[in-house]
Structure 1
Amino acid sequence: MEPVKPVKIHLKSSAFDAGETIPEQYTCDGDDVNPGLELDNIPAATVSLAILMEDPDAPSGTWTHWLAWNIPPSQTIEENSAEGVLGKNDFGTILYQGPCPPMGTHRYFFRVYALDIKLDLPAGSTREQMLKALEFHVIGSGELMGLYSKK
């Protein structure tokens, strides 16, 4: 039996357009709250959503800023929200921590996954644990990339 190819979810934000600068309020130079996200084309069979935000341009390798799972399926993830179960980011905290590059302009990828299950993971689990748990359960996914340079 062939694995199901995930549906493409259209992920966008009213705060910034794909490939554009993430506004300061969503970074360490501002309020450090997550931007609102809008999802279109979520598969009907979605049981939960998972989110991952990371910076592949960090000096030490890809840096995780935000991860959450078991978010109820919805067209919107509100600004400054803590929906679902939060994982541990690479700052060592269990919350959203926005862009804060030490130098230069970095890319920040927001990824959303539509899952056919709820993940059986405790709060504070790592990126690797979340990605392993969602393997074989992704029925849709989307991505939004924004840029940021520290002030």
Structure 2
Amino acid sequence: MAQESMKLVSPQMHGDSRMPRKYTADGQGAVKDVSPPLEWYAVPPGAVTLALVVEDIDGLDDPLVPWTHWIVVNIPPSAKGLPEGFSGGNADNLAGVKEGVNDWKVPGWRGPKPPPDGHRIRFRLYALDCELQLGNKVTKEKVLEAVESHVVGEADLIVLF
């Protein structure tokens, strides 16, 4: 019997739907830059840890460069997701989990500031056959280099903002 493909979903966002404002830099009143809830399914049996990379794939123009919003590494494969507001305080609830530095040069989630024409944000979850040893400053570049030959599964969720 074939293994089901790994899936990444959010109860608050669906593929090609708009990201709710509270997860953006604009927010709703005092509620802004809240990390969105995520859930995943069918993590491959060989996974030792999970890593999450979130970027605006329409990024900066000329040349097109994706903009990093969130990095989370060494998530235990037994975790079924990350709750809303996980970033910036709830990471301690999962031993070994580390949030990386985004393109604002700060650790944790930083929501997008919606442009008038909209952009796409991609949540990419990697299932890895090892724990990542990245030092004190975790960056997207370090993560992507480290996962290169260790991916046993991956899943994407793309939403609009």
Q: TM-score, normalised by structure 2?
A: 0.83
In the alignment, does 2:105 pair up with 1:92? Answer: yes
- Per the TM alignment, residue 102 of structure 1 is displaced from its structure 2 partner at its CA by 4.1
Alignment root-mean-square deviation, CA: 1.6
| Cα distance in 2 for residues equivalent to 1:8 and 1:57 | 26
SS at match of 1:105: coil
Aligned to 1:37: 38
Aligned to 2:59: 58
| Cα distance in 2 for residues equivalent to 1:88 and 1:97 | 10
**1:47-73: CA deviations, max 9, x gaps?**
111000001212242100001100111
**1:115-143: CA deviations, max 9, x gaps?**
11110012422211111011111111000
**Contact 1:87–1:126 (CA under 8 A) maintained in structure 2:** yes
- Per the TM alignment, residue 90 of structure 1 is displaced from its structure 2 partner at its CA by 0.6
In the alignment, does 2:86 pair up with 1:81? Answer: yes
Aligned to 1:3: none
| Cα distance in 1 for residues equivalent to 2:68 and 2:145 | 15
**Contact 1:86–1:124 (CA under 8 A) maintained in structure 2:** no
- Per the TM alignment, residue 9 of structure 1 is displaced from its structure 2 partner at its CA by 1.2
Structure 2's unaligned 5+ residue stretches are 92-96
Equivalent AA in structure 1 for residue 16 of structure 2: G
| Cα distance in 2 for residues equivalent to 1:54 and 1:22 | 13
SS at match of 1:99: coil
Structure 1's unaligned 5+ residue stretches are 1-6
| Cα distance in 2 for residues equivalent to 1:8 and 1:34 | 25
The percent identity for this pair of structures is 39
| Cα distance in 1 for residues equivalent to 2:9 and 2:128 | 19
Aligned to 1:9: 6
| Cα distance in 2 for residues equivalent to 1:80 and 1:72 | 18
| Cα distance in 1 for residues equivalent to 2:115 and 2:137 | 25
Aligned to 1:25: 22
SS at match of 2:43: coil
